[in-house]
Amino acid sequence: MRKMLVLVRHGKALQATDGQADFDRELSKAGKRSLNAKLPQMLAQFEPGRAGTAIWASPSARSMQTAKLLSNALEARGVRLADCIEEHDSLWDQNEDAFLAELPSSPEDVVFAVGHNPFVEELAFRLTGARIPCSPGGLICVDVDYPDDVEDVQLPNAGTSRLLWFSQGPASQHWKTLVQLENTLKEASGTVESRRKAFFENPDDIETMHKFRVSIRTLRSLVAFIKPWQEAEQNALSQSLLRDVVACTSRLRELDVFASQAKESADTTDELVAFCENEALEERNQVGKVLQSKAMRKKLDKALSQTRSIKWKRSVAAEGLPPETIRKRFDTLAEKLEGDVADLRLSEAEQTHDVRKRAKRVRYAAESFKGILGDDAVGIAKGMTSHQENLGAVCDARVNIGMINGFLERELPEAVAWDLTLLRAQNETFLYSALKADEAQSEAEEEAENDDIKSEDEVVEAQEEPKVEEV
């Protein structure tokens, strides 16, 4: 009597929580998704023909879940299955003799047996004589030969069965990475939601608006980071919606920064402080109305919905993402930014603004995805923060000068106009000093580079100079 036995190691399971029995451990999200994605491919070697197929499983939670996913995959291939998944204590007890004694009782010619290690590997060795390392979710197919020349069923002798095929289990870590990315985006979406609520409850508080704005920019940066792996249409839509929402707050943030500078200036009068606060208040009221409008609420709700339900590209959903792929993207962005910062000339306003934005994005990615990227990403994030602050001061000075010029085109009280003129002079002085310092540094670096080239040329010339032989 022969049976086709497919030994199945259950998928990747969660670690036991405090007080939880090992029996009750379930599959992790990554374990479920990796099996869903890879089982169709792993079962390609299975050719049941017209034979009926049964699924046996250890009664543990993780084994029964694996058996259900296996059943779905087999049914999708048109395999004729027994009515239900059978629970067998011998698989949980890892009792080889008991299991092999039960196997002939199956009316089906093919039995998939979902169990645990070391049972799966040890039974495969016992039957075939081959040591087969089997990772979670792996399949080992064996043609089992039961002696049928005696009245009582005997257990197969060691090495008398034949290994038909083997399929290693999926690398669940690749899907764990996807789960981590999704969880981070969901958490960032939740932060946006809570900070929107805080702003609506206390719109006059400058910090509630600032935190709300930062939360949106953070979420948008994370969406931009996963762009290579997310479906293009969904990624573009999410970024566009978030950009529209944050754009309506830009002017208010600029006014808040300007008002803060005005207050801190030693020469500022009460008239200018009152003027700045009034401008910010009017803008805050306007922004509050826009954000609470039906259209803007709908935009943000749609954006949050998209980021809470990521659609991955087909290849990514099928194969997952190795953690090193995530790190490679981060390193590429960070290295590109470092190079652009080194080549940056502060006199280029648009370029300075662009580099500053990308510095923020790299920092947000480093901080948010540090669980995938590694602890050293935090150190890189601090470097990005340094770049951002230096560039931010220059960008703020330019914005302040432009804002003051716009104010001075209006009819203002003489004292306010004079104070604005003085404040503009302060910003212009700071900007001029920053640009001159940047220019001097650039010239020094260029001179040092020329000296290095000159030194290299001198070395080459010395090596090429013909030697004069003594007579």
- Domain range summary for the chain, segments of one domain joined by +: 2-15+23-170, 174-439
Mean per-residue pLDDT over the chain, rounded = 89
Region 60-85 average pLDDT: 94
Contacts of 296 (CB under 8 A, 6+ apart): 244, 245, 248, 290
pLDDT digits (tens, 9 = 90+) for 333-351: 999 988 888 888 889 999 9
| Residue 452 pLDDT > 80 | no
Q: What is the pLDDT of residue 263?
A: 87
| Residue 152 pLDDT > 50 | no
| Residue 95 pLDDT > 80 | yes
Query: Could you give the percent of the chain with pLDDT greater than 70?
Result: 91
| Residue 97 pLDDT > 90 | yes
CA atoms within 13 A on the CB side of 147: 11
Query: Could you give the percent of the chain with pLDDT greater than 90?
Result: 68
Region 382-402 average pLDDT: 83
Q: Is 79 exposed, middle or buried (0-12, 13-18, 19+ CB in 10 A)?
A: middle
pLDDT band at 412 (very low <50, low <70, confident <90, very high): very high
Region 22-45 average pLDDT: 95
Q: What is the pLDDT of residue 174?
A: 95
Region 418-424 average pLDDT: 93
| Residue 145 pLDDT > 70 | yes
Of the ranges 185-194, 198-207, 352-361, which is most confident?
185-194
Residue 140, beta-bridge partner list: 7, 166
Q: Three-state secondary structure along the chain?
A: CEEEEEEEECCCECCCCCCCCHHHCCECHHHHHHHHHHHHHHHHHCCCCCCCEEEEECCCHHHHHHHHHHHHHHHHCCCCECCCCEECHHHHHCCHHHHHHHHHHCCCCEEEEEECCCHHHHHHHHHHCCCCCCCCCCEEEEEEECCCCCCCCCCCCCCCCEEEEEECCCCHHHHHHHHHHHHHHHHHHHHHHHHHHHHHHCCCCHHHHHHHHHHHHHHHHHHHHCCCCECHHHHHHHHHHHHHHHHCCHHHHHHHHHHHHHHHCCCCCHHHHHHHHHHHHHHHHHHHHHHHCHHHHHHHHHHHHHHHCCCECHHHHHHCCCHHHHHHHHHHHHHHHHHHHHHCCCCCHHHHHHHHHHHHHHHHHHHHCHHHHCCHHHHHHHHHHHHHHHHHHHHHHHHHHHHHHHHHCCCCCHHHHHHHHHHHHHHHHHHHHHHHHHHHHHHHHHHHHHHHHHHHHHHHHHHHCCCCCCC
Q: pTM for this structure? A: 0.84
pLDDT digits (tens, 9 = 90+) for 458-467: 666 666 655 5
The domain defined by 2-15+23-170 folds into: Rossmann fold (3.40.50)
Q: What is the pLDDT of residue 176?
A: 95
pLDDT digits (tens, 9 = 90+) for 259-303: 888 888 877 888 999 999 899 989 989 999 999 999 999 999 999
Least confident of 10-14, 132-136, 267-271, 414-418: 267-271
The domain defined by 174-439 folds into: CHAD domain (1.40.20)
